[in-house]
Amino acid sequence: MKNNKESEEIIEMLSPIERKVVPYLKKSIKEIIKLSGLDESSVLLAIQFLEKKDILKTKAKTDRIIDLGTNGIYYKKNHLPERKLLLTLEEQNHLQLNEAKKLSKLSENEFKVALGVLKDKAQINIANGKISLNATKEELFKKSLEEQFLEILPIKESSLSSEQRFAFETLKKRKDIIEIKNETEISFELTEKGREIAGKEIKLDLLEEVTPEIVKSWTSGKKFRRYDIQASVPKIYGGKKHFVNQSIEYAKRIWTDLGFTEMQGNFIDSSFWVFDALFTPQDHPAREMQDTFFIKNVQAKLPDSKIVKAVKQAHETGIAGSKGWNYSWKEKDAKKVVLRTHTTSLSVRTLASLKESNFPAKYFAIGKVFRNETVDWSHGFEFYQTEGIVVDPNASLRHLLGYLKEFYKKMGYEKIKFVPSFFAYTEPSVEIQVWHPERKIWLELGGAGIFRPEVTTALLGKPIPVLAWGQGFDRIITEYYKIKDLREMYSNDIKDLRNKKEWIK
């Protein structure tokens, strides 16, 4: 250090815990804790602060520590299973296996383990369902390597001898006898600045903050601690909502700004609203166990009999000019309770509650749905969907495409396309696809169309045009967050969550 003035300036910057540590900086951290009167956390914090001031440089060495597991603690006190069996056989040799197990008071699993260990060591014989002792007196009374190993724990893995290593590898295969923890040891080296001030007794009485009491009793003899306003400080991460929840709120604003009213409902619903009201035949593959989660031993209550009668007619013989599906519609199938496979169940429930005086009307929903899917990079068994309907006698397919284009544009997509498709409850039907720049493919995000007359007539009384769509919301937000695999979305890596960007409002 160049001069005493610079040394004094540094000392005047030190916090109270740093000033307590400085006199002992030539010693180890364990000695500093003992001599300074500070606890370990305070000393480590002081070391961290001093490193920021370039007074020292820390080093971290991580070692694997082997310690007793839950079963290890018990066995250290009450003997390993093989020791219990040996002691039992010492008292009474040549026992039936069941009798040996009973007398040793071992569980089924412990008894099997003890037999295996002792057979490997040739300390027992098993023949004709009987077990007999084959161990020497020395083996009976001398502790095994495994028992000796339990007594020395905890120990650093790096310090194991060859015999201890053998015992460690043996016990590691057995459940909860030992556990391995990573332990980091901090040490430090003094810099030039540190060597200049290390060992000095600091008796400064500096003011740390301005309070009303200090202002009232101010005297010119008091001095504030110096602060380096350019010094780096730890980054503070404030609490915030999960990025999926932020995305949902952003998407809800888009729909409400477009004049839509939100729909809400339960995750669990009847097959009537999830399938039947949407003109999905009762033998459709989507209603089978491999696609849908059914709730056991419970039946749903069906809605107003007028709606049930109209839906039944639509399925069996047709309605509004339709021929229907020409089969016998079963009420018991409609009463089956399921985890909703789409949020469209909210749309048909809403339609059933509307009157002609409510037209035109626009509704949306963003909610979780459940499918019995194989989980991969683009599929999950539960995910969010964004749903919408527009009830308007003058609505057309062009209006539908316009709403969807506007929504996707605000969600950050410019490159989208609509592909003709088929859905049981819409005609015409389209599939919305967006370009996936990473995988160089068009990714399907959901379906849309105009509800068929069989749906609207049964619920509204006449075939009024209803625009409808249901989009995979999780897939929609992957591009904005640069997520390549849907499974990353809920991995909840705290570092990743902290750095997720916000939606531009």
Run means of pLDDT, 10 residues per run, the chain, 505 residues: 66 87 92 92 92 90 92 92 91 88 90 90 89 86 91 92 92 91 90 87 78 75 76 77 92 95 94 94 82 89 91 93 92 93 93 90 94 75 92 94 93 89 91 81 88 93 93 87 83 84 75
Sign of the CA dihedral with 90 first, then 95, 97, and 98 last: negative
Instruction: Please report, to the nearest 10 degrees, the dihedral formed by the alpha carbons of residues 324, 325, 331, 332 taken in order.
Output: -170
Decide if 23 is inside a domain: yes
**DSSP-assigned beta bridge partners for residue 434:** 416, 443
Are residues 267 and 206 located together in one domain of the fold?
A: no
What 3 state SS string does 173-221 have? CCCCCEEEEEEEEEEEEECHHHHHHCCCCCCCCEECCCCHHHHHCCCCC
What is the β-pairing status of strands 261-262 and 294-299? unpaired
Distances (CA, A) of 405 to 315, 409, 417: 33, 6, 9
> In Å, how far from its chain's centre is CA 10?
45
Distances (CA, A) of 459 to 329, 386, 394, 452, 505: 17, 22, 18, 11, 38
Side chain identity at residue 486, one-letter code: L
Side chain identity at residue 251, one-letter code: A
Are residues 205 and 351 located together in one domain of the fold?
A: no
Are residues 93 and 37 located together in one domain of the fold?
A: no
- Nearest-5° Cα angle at 438, 291 to 388: 45
Sign of the CA dihedral with 483 first, then 404, 243, and 380 last: negative
Side chain identity at residue 102, one-letter code: K
**Boundary (domain end) residue, out of 179, 201, 236:** 179
Are 147 and 83 in contact, with CB atoms under 8 Å apart?
yes
Are residues 256 and 108 located together in one domain of the fold?
A: no
Are residues 207 and 97 located together in one domain of the fold?
A: no
Decide if 125 is inside a domain: yes
Are residues 344 and 491 located together in one domain of the fold?
A: yes
Decide if 316 is inside a domain: yes
Are residues 146 and 75 located together in one domain of the fold?
A: yes
Are residues 360 and 458 located together in one domain of the fold?
A: yes
* Spatial separation of the C-alpha atoms in residues 340 and 335, rounded to whole Å: 13
Are residues 171 and 198 located together in one domain of the fold?
A: no
* Spatial separation of the C-alpha atoms in residues 384 and 365, rounded to whole Å: 10
Side chain identity at residue 130, one-letter code: K
Closest CA to 478 of 431, 418, 434, 430: 434
* Spatial separation of the C-alpha atoms in residues 325 and 330, rounded to whole Å: 13
* Spatial separation of the C-alpha atoms in residues 12 and 74, rounded to whole Å: 54
Are residues 22 and 143 located together in one domain of the fold?
A: no
Side chain identity at residue 426, one-letter code: T
**DSSP-assigned beta bridge partners for residue 61:** 185
- Nearest-5° Cα angle at 15, 13 to 16: 135
Q: Which domain holds residue 381?
A: 246-499
Closest CA to 132 of 82, 196, 169, 89: 89
CATH number at residue 169: 1.10.10
Beta strands in 209-330 (DSSP E): 223-224, 261-262, 268-270, 294-299
User: Strand, coil or helix: what is 392?
Assistant: coil
Q: What is the pTM of this model?
A: 0.60
- The encoded tokens of residue 41 equal 């956390």
Decide if 372 is inside a domain: yes
φ/ψ bin of 52: left (φ > 0), alpha (ψ from -120 to 50), beta (otherwise):
alpha
Decide if 230 is inside a domain: no
* Spatial separation of the C-alpha atoms in residues 401 and 432, rounded to whole Å: 9
User: What is the total count of domains within the chain?
Assistant: 3
* Spatial separation of the C-alpha atoms in residues 382 and 470, rounded to whole Å: 15
307 CB neighbour count, 10 Å cutoff? 16
Decide if 60 is inside a domain: no
* Spatial separation of the C-alpha atoms in residues 179 and 174, rounded to whole Å: 11
Half-sphere exposure of 181 (CA within 13 A, CB side): 10
Are residues 218 and 251 located together in one domain of the fold?
A: no
Decide if 157 is inside a domain: yes
What's the confidence (pLDDT) of residue 400? Answer: 95
Decide if 283 is inside a domain: yes
* Spatial separation of the C-alpha atoms in residues 352 and 391, rounded to whole Å: 12
CATH number at residue 282: 3.30.930.10
What's the confidence (pLDDT) of residue 353? Answer: 92
Are 181 and 22 in contact, with CB atoms under 8 Å apart?
no
Backbone angles phi, psi at 104, to 5 degrees: -80, -10
Are residues 49 and 24 located together in one domain of the fold?
A: yes
What's the confidence (pLDDT) of residue 219? Answer: 65
